[in-house]
Amino acid sequence: MLINKTNHTSGTSAAPAELEECRRLASSWAPVLQALANEERLLIALWLAGSTCSVRELERVTGLGQSLVSYHLRALRQAGLVKATPSGRSNRYQLAHGGLDQLATLIGTLEPPTES
């Protein structure tokens, strides 16, 4: 959802409904973005875009041990970013929503900010 602020110029205050919507979005997205702020968790999320993986497969991708991969997956699950599906004696992990696949694709197309 995009907030329409086209009627506002810099220095003018936002309409109360627009400001409230921005506050609501910031409040709901802050924990999700905080989970992605960790480089290893972001790597896992980007790798899971459009696919499923086991912990063992994610160990190979990240170079991390099983306990650290599981730790990061737990944080991603708590943020609502990843879900687990039982598969035999282990789980397969994937992004929790199709929109997250699109977000991962978008992140992959962005140029990293340059330091000034």
For 34-87, how does the pLDDT look when each residue is reduced to its tens digit (9 = 90+)?
999 999 999 999 999 889 999 999 999 999 999 999 999 999 999 999 999 999
116 three-class SS: coil
* pLDDT attached to residue 64: 97
Per cent of the chain over pLDDT 70 is 87
Please state, in angstroms and rounded to a whole number, the distance separating the CA atoms of residues 24 and 51.
31
Please state, in angstroms and rounded to a whole number, the distance separating the CA atoms of residues 83 and 52.
10
Topology at the third CATH level for domain 39-109 = Arc Repressor Mutant, subunit A (1.10.10)
- Among the residue ranges 7-11, 23-27, 81-85, the one predicted with the least confidence is 7-11
Residue type, 26: A
Please state, in angstroms and rounded to a whole number, the distance separating the CA atoms of residues 74 and 14.
38
Tokens of 62: 């990240």
Q: List, in sequence order, every beta strand (DSSP E) within the chain.
A: 82-87, 90-95
Give this prediction's pTM.
0.77
Task: Locate the domains of the chain by residue range.
Answer: 39-109
Per cent of the chain over pLDDT 90 is 56
